[in-house]
């Protein structure tokens, strides 16, 4: 019966991040620096709000887009934090994490043979959905530009088939962000073109200098903003994402959302409301801790002689391992076997990630120190 399975589904693979993590998960005494999951617990007041929702029997369907008070809180959050203005009744959808927001956005705007421009390397969650829509991912090599997708790099790739450009900043896997000037240049390039922008801003609260800038401030009508609480409030398992866009577009995306999940978990929605209101600045403490970790990891990696861009957001580093003459997969697997440390092969982030590995510093300083000590010893053995 397998021949009856959708051929597009058969052609896609499990994320390289998860594939490698699952492959090495049972290795003895392993220190894993692979998964981008905050090591902080969900704030107590948020957990209590979830418990109250159960006790209060807030356990039925909500409005398909999410209960109204939460949508209002989400719009107020992005307005006060980033200067983005959306109508809470018509221009925001509460989704099952940012991943579902990406899915319904692509399924609404893409169709057969259109093209989506992506920076390479990039988070692997976009390409499979693009392909399942019958569209074509087009990668732009950003390696020589500090991993930043700028107007100068994008322009040669735009043609009559271009339907969407993905701006995933702060970036997974590199941790880089775009400057306001770079965003303005992109906005000027795209303002008169019939092209959507999908701006994945899930790491917006984890920016280490200044405040997060969204291209939606300048190109609101054609920008779809993706956000959520997984990274900002350490709520990965609660599965709360947000999709912001103009009313005419959210009306269509809501149809896709409705037939996909009906609505997001009502209990998680109550917890999310608490996170966005009482917990408006909950990310501040975590961001300060991540910054300390970033500085520590960057110092250690550069002292090991590894070339790496210093992240300005998120909680990843993407050092080059080209000089060792190994593929990123072989390097990562050998690192597990020889040193008991797991990182993610750069090849998981498109072919433009080959020659790099991704290291997550969403771990305690103690864990990072132990892992980096092992990495340093391993590098010394292969550098002889």
Q: Where do the structural domains in the chain lie, given as residue ranges?
A: 2-42+282-382, 57-276
pLDDT at residue 91, as a whole number: 98
What pLDDT was estimated at residue 134?
Answer: 97
Domain 57-276, CATH number (from 2.30.40.10, 1.20.1090.10, 3.40.50.10490, 3.40.640.10): 3.40.640.10
Residue 225 phi, psi (nearest 5): -100, 125
Q: So what's the pLDDT on residue 117? A: 98
pLDDT of residue 14: 74
In this structure, the dihedral spanned by the alpha carbons of residues 65, 242, 107 and 154, taken in order and rounded to 10 degrees, is 150
Q: What span, in angstroms and rounded, lies between the C-alpha atoms of 58 and 119? A: 41
Report the pLDDT value the prediction gives residue 58, as an integer from 0 to 100. 98
* Cβ-contact 236, 38 below 8 angstroms: yes
- Under-70 pLDDT residues of the chain: 16, 384
- Pick from 91, 81, 69, 68: which is nearest to 274 by CA? 69
Rounded to an integer, what distance in angstroms lies between the CA atom of residue 87 and that of residue 255? Answer: 18
How far is it, in rounded angstroms, from Cα 161 to Cα 132?
Answer: 17
Q: Tell me, what's the pLDDT at 11?
A: 83
d(CA 341, CA 161) in angstroms, rounded, equals 43
**pTM of model > 0.85:** yes
Cβ neighbours of residue 210 closer than 8 Å, sequence gap 6 or more: none
Rounded-to-integer distance, Cα 359 and Cα 230, Å: 19
CA-CA distance, 107 to 265, in Å (whole number)? 22
Confidence (pLDDT) at 55:
98
The tokens for 374 are 């092992």
Cβ-contact 73, 49 below 8 angstroms: no
CB 292, CB 139: distance < 8 Å:
no
> pLDDT tens for residues 89-148?
999 999 999 999 999 999 999 999 999 999 999 999 999 999 999 999 999 999 999 999
The set of long-range contacts for 135-141, using a CB threshold of 8 Å and a minimum separation of 24, is 135/106, 135/110, 135/111, 135/163, 136/161, 138/162, 139/350, 139/351, 139/352, 141/352
Residue 240 backbone zone (phi > 0: left; psi -120 to 50: alpha; other: beta) = beta
CATH of 2-42+282-382, one of 3.40.720.10, 3.90.1150.10, 3.40.50.970, 3.40.50.300: 3.90.1150.10
Of the candidates 365, 376, 363, the one whose C-alpha atom is nearest the C-alpha of residue 33 is 363
């Amino acid at each position: 019966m397998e021949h009856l399975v959708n051929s597009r589904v058969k052609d896609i693979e499990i994320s390289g991040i998860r594939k490698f993590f699952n492959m090495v998960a049972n290795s003895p005494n392993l220190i894993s620096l692979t998964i981008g999951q905050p090591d902080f617990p969900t704030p107590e007041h948020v957990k209590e709000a979830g418990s109250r929702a159960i006790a209060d029997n807030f356990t039925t369907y909500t409005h398909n887009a999410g209960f109204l008070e939460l949508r209002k809180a989400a719009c107020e959050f992005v307005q006060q934090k980033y200067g983005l203005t959306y109508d809470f009744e018509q221009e925001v959808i509460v989704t099952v994490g940012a991943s579902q927001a990406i899915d319904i956005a692509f399924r609404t705007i893409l169709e057969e043979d259109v093209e989506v421009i992506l920076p390479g390397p990039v988070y692997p969650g976009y390409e499979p959905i693009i392909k399942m829509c019958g569209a074509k991912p087009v990668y732009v090599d950003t390696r020589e530009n500090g991993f930043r997708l700028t107007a100068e790099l994008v322009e040669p790739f735009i043609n009559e088939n271009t339907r969407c450009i993905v701006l995933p900043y702060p970036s997974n896997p590199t941790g880089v962000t775009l400057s306001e000037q770079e965003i303005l240049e992109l906005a000027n390039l795209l303002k008169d073109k019939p092209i959507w922008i999908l701006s994945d801003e899930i790491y917006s609260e984890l920016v280490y200098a200044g405040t997060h800038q969204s291209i939606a401030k300048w190109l609101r009508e054609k920008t779809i903003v993706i956000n959520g609480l997984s990274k900002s409030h350490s709520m990965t398992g609660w599965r709360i994402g947000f999709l912001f866009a103009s009313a005419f577009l959210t009306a269509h995306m809501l149809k896709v959302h409705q037939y996909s999940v009906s609505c997001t978990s009502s209990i998680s929605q109550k917890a999310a409301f608490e996170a966005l209101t009482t917990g408006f600045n909950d990310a501040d403490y975590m961001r300060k801790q991540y910054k300390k970790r970033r500085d520590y990891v960057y110092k250690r990696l550069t002292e090991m002689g590894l070339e790496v861009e210093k992240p300005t957001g998120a909680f990843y580093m993407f050092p080059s391992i080209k000089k060792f003459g190994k593929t990123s997969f072989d390097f990562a697997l050998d690192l597990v076997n020889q040193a008991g440390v797991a990182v993610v092969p750069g090849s998981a982030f498109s072919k433009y990630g080959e020659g790099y590995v991704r290291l997550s510093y969403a771990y305690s300083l103690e864990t990072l120190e132990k892992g980096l000590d092992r990495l340093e010893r391993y590098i010394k053995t292969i550098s002889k």
